[in-house]
């Protein structure tokens, strides 16, 4: 293991050989912490919409055009998969514009598709579109962040409801729909984002009407519905999480500018708070971040929303965004619970917890979306934070994980002075929280496996430089 300026041994959240292998590579960022982040950065299209919008292009019989696509690894993975399925993906005229031509959609060989096995969870969403276009689909073993078991049982149950047969083999899933796909009435056991998207992408061209109850209604899902509607779909969003889709025989391409990445925006906001800094996030949109903004204000952070103004004669216009800052003085402890929309997103939790280590008193975080998303707090404790995790549902509503042995509630006692450490990044969002902690801590930290952050944060090293962070590659 490499030496460390801080004198601490690299801290491993889990003993997986994956993390150790990553730790031993040169994929390390040296972070000289203790300085506030100050400046302005921009967020582009939401990772968790853009990747699904790319899959939707498979359903059209004419080309689609997507703007503001961030340069992140998840986009590259989906681009590669679309290419393997005969969708020609080209860069458009505008920076961040992608054009998808589905004219030659064809089955790819299992070997080729397996190249992408383990690198993303998006392949599962190819099922519906491929079943419509080809009558069969192959989905390799799924990857994505290591945050608990992340099963796909809801996806498979939904596909079977539509009439697909699923054959599980060691190399992956083979699906077919010899008699086509038919509309169905279906209720999700939990409002899963991915399973709702699966149903949408399948139902739009299934014969007849589909009614999905207990659907997820995240802004990214509503934006996907907008895209499908542009393509010719008929989708009604009723009250109480009910979505009704009337299948149509044919869809055409779309042109779309996606909603901005509210997870990235909140991550930088939390970084501003934790480092006592001031960060303007251009592109951040208030409507999709209301729950985050309420908590940010309760903690003691301040923000100002700037509405976008289109250019007019004699007025260059203005790009909208949100300015986040630490007003000085002490932060307040809060109690919060992660939840499906419109609740506090599970992906906002990890960056904010770093800021909560600086708040006076006891903060409580109850994670109700994933059963194992608090492991990263061990790394924060190794830096001087005081965080205890519990199996109980603390601070409010009992959730699915209560009394089931999952440590899914955290109590954060603060304020704690954070000191530098050597850290190994375990997954995307926890990774960003490690980075924020290193930036907030006194001294020099080494953050191993930082490349994982490129999965979901565009140009994060350039953005850190724009915000005046003292980071370097050794």
User: Known binding site for phosphoenolpyruvate: residues?
Assistant: 47-48
Among the residue ranges 187-195, 273-281, 312-320, 388-396, the one whose residues contact ligand EPU (CB under 6 A):
187-195
Cβ of residue 157: shortest distance to ligand EPU, in angstroms? 8
Query: Of 92, 151, 317, 468, which lies in the binding site for ligand EPU, with binding defined by CB under 6 A?
Result: 151
Asked if residues 350 and 431 have their Cβ atoms less than 8 Å apart, the reply is: no
| Of 340, 341, 393, nearest in space to 364 by CA | 393
Site string for ligand EPU, 364-403 (x = CB under 6 A): -----xx---------------------------------
Task: Point out which span in 79-87, 291-299, 344-352, 458-466 binds ligand EPU (CB under 6 A).
Answer: 344-352
Q: Which residues from 284-343 bind ligand EPU, rule CB under 6 A?
A: none
Q: Is 346 in the site for ligand EPU (CB under 6 A)?
A: yes
Q: Give the shortest CB-115-to-ligand EPU separation in angstroms.
A: 19
Residue 190 as a binder of ligand EPU (CB under 6 A): the answer is yes
CB nearer to ligand EPU: pick between 7 and 343: 343
Question: Which one of residues 456, 463, 467, 469 is an interface residue with ligand EPU (CB under 6 A)?
Answer: 456
Q: Is 152 in the site for ligand EPU (CB under 6 A)?
A: yes
Residue 145 annotated to the active site: yes
Q: Please say which residue, 156 or 440, places its beta carbon nearer to ligand EPU.
A: 156
Q: Is 347 in the site for ligand EPU (CB under 6 A)?
A: yes
Report the C-alpha gap between 233 and 235 in whole angstroms.
Answer: 6
Among the listed residues 181, 193, 212, 272, the single contact to ligand EPU using CB under 6 A: 193
Task: Report d(CA 268, CA 63) in Å as an integer.
Answer: 35
308-320 in b/e form (b: 16+ CB < 10 A) is eeeeeeeeeeeeb
Residues in 239-268 that interact with ligand EPU by CB under 6 A: 263
| Sequence ranges of the binding site for UDP-N-acetyl-alpha-D-glucosamine | 121, 347, 369
Q: Which is nearer to ligand EPU, 58 or 369 (CB)?
A: 369
Choice from 407, 429, 434, 446 touching ligand EPU (CB under 6 A): 429
Q: Among 143-151, 175-183, 320-328, 329-337, which window interacts with ligand EPU (CB under 6 A)? A: 143-151
In this complex, which beta carbon is closest to ligand EPU, that of residue 153 or of residue 304?
153
3-state secondary structure the chain: CCCCCCCCCCECCCCCHHHHHHHHCCCEEEEEECCCCEEEEECCECHHHHHHHHHHHHHECCCEEECCCCCCHHHHHHHHHHHHCCCEEEECCCCCCEEEECCCCCCCCHHHHHCCCCCCCHHHHHHHHHHHHHCEEEEECCCCCCCCCCCCHHHHHHHHHCCCEEEEECCEEEEECCCCCECCEEECCCCCHHHHHHHHHHHCCCECEEEEECCCCCHHHHHHHHHHHHCCCEEEEECCCEEEEECCCCECCCEECCCECHHHHHHHHHHHHHCCCEEEEECCCHHHHHHHHHHHHHHCCEEEEECCECCECCECCECCEEEEECCCCCEECCEEEECCCCCECHHHHHHHHHHHCCEEEEEEEECCCCCCCCCCHHHHHHCCCEEEEECCCCCCCCCCCCCCCCCCEEEEEECCCCECCEEECCCHHHHHHHHHHHHHCEEEEEEECHHHHHHCCCCHHHHHHHCCCEEECC
**Based on CB atoms, which residue is closest to ligand EPU, 71 or 88?**
71
- Nearest approach, Cβ of 268 to ligand EPU (angstroms)? 15
Give the CB-nearest residue to ligand EPU.
194
Choice among 127, 145, 226, 393 that is catalytic:
145
In terms of CB distance, is 146 or 276 closer to ligand EPU? 146
Size of the site for ligand EPU (CB under 6 A): 26
Interface segment toward ligand EPU; rule CB under 6 A; list 7-15, 55-63, 84-92, 192-200 = 192-200
Which of these ranges, 32-40, 175-183, 190-198, 432-440, lies near ligand EPU under the rule CB under 6 A?
190-198
70 binds ligand EPU (CB under 6 A): no
User: Which residues of the shown chain bind ligand EPU in the complex (CB under 6 A)?
Assistant: 47-48, 51, 121, 145, 150-155, 190, 192-195, 216, 263, 345-347, 369-370, 428-429, 456
Residues with a known catalytic role: 145
């Amino acid at each position: 293991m490499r030496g460390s300026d801080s004198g601490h041994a690299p801290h491993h959240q889990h003993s997986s050989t994956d993390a150790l292998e990553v730790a031993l590579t040169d994929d390390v960022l040296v972070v000289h912490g203790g300085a506030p982040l100050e400046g302005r950065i921009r967020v582009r299209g939401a990772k968790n919409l853009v990747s699904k919008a790319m899959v939707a292009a498979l359903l059209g019989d004419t080309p689609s055009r997507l703007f503001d696509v961030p340069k992140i690894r998840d986009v590259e993975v989906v681009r590669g998969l679309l290419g393997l399925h005969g969708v020609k993906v080209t860069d458009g005229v505008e920076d961040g514009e992608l054009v998808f031509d589905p004219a030659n959609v064809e089955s790819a060989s299992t070997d080729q598709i397996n190249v992408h096995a383990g690198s993303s969870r998006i392949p599962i969403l190819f099922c519906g579109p491929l079943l419509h276009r080809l009558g069969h689909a192959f989905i390799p073993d799924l990857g994505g962040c290591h945050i608990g078991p992340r099963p796909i049982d809801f996806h498979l149950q939904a596909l079977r409801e539509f009439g697909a047969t699923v054959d599980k083999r060691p190399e992956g899933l083979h699906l077919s729909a010899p008699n086509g796909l038919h509309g169905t009435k279906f209720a999700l056991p939990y409002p899963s984002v991915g399973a709702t998207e699966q149903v949408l992408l399948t139902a739009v061209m299934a014969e007849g009407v589909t009614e999905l109850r207990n659907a997820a209604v995240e802004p990214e899902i509503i934006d996907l519905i907008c895209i499908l509607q542009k393509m010719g779909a008929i989708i009604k969003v009723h009250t109480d999480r009910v979505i009704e889709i009337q299948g149509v025989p044919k869809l055409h391409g779309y042109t779309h500018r996606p909603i901005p990445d509210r997870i990235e925006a909140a991550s930088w906001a939390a970084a501003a708070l934790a480092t006592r800094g001031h960060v303007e996030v251009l592109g951040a949109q208030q409507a999709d971040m209301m729950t985050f903004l309420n908590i940010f204000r309760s903690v003691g952070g301040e923000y100002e929303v700037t509405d976008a103004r289109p250019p007019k004669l004699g007025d260059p216009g203005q790009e909208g965004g949100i300015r986040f800052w630490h007003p000085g003085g002490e932060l307040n402890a809060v109690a919060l619970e992660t939840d499906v929309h419109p609740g506090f997103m599970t992906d906002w939790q990890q960056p904010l917890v770093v800021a909560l280590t600086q708040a006076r008193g006891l903060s409580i975080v109850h994670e109700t979306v994933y059963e194992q998303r608090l492991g990263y707090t061990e790394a924060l404790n190794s830096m001087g934070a005081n965080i205890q995790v519990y199996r109980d549902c603390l601070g409010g509503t009992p959730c699915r994980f209560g009394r089931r042995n999952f440590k899914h509630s955290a109590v954060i006692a603060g304020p704690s002075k954070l000191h530098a450490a050597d850290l190994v990044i375990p997954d995307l969002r926890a990774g960003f929280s490690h980075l924020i902690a290193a930036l907030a801590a006194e001294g020099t930290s080494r953050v191993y496996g930082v490349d994982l952050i490129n999965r979901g944060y565009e140009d994060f090293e350039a953005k850190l430089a724009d915000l005046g962070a003292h980071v370097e590659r050794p």
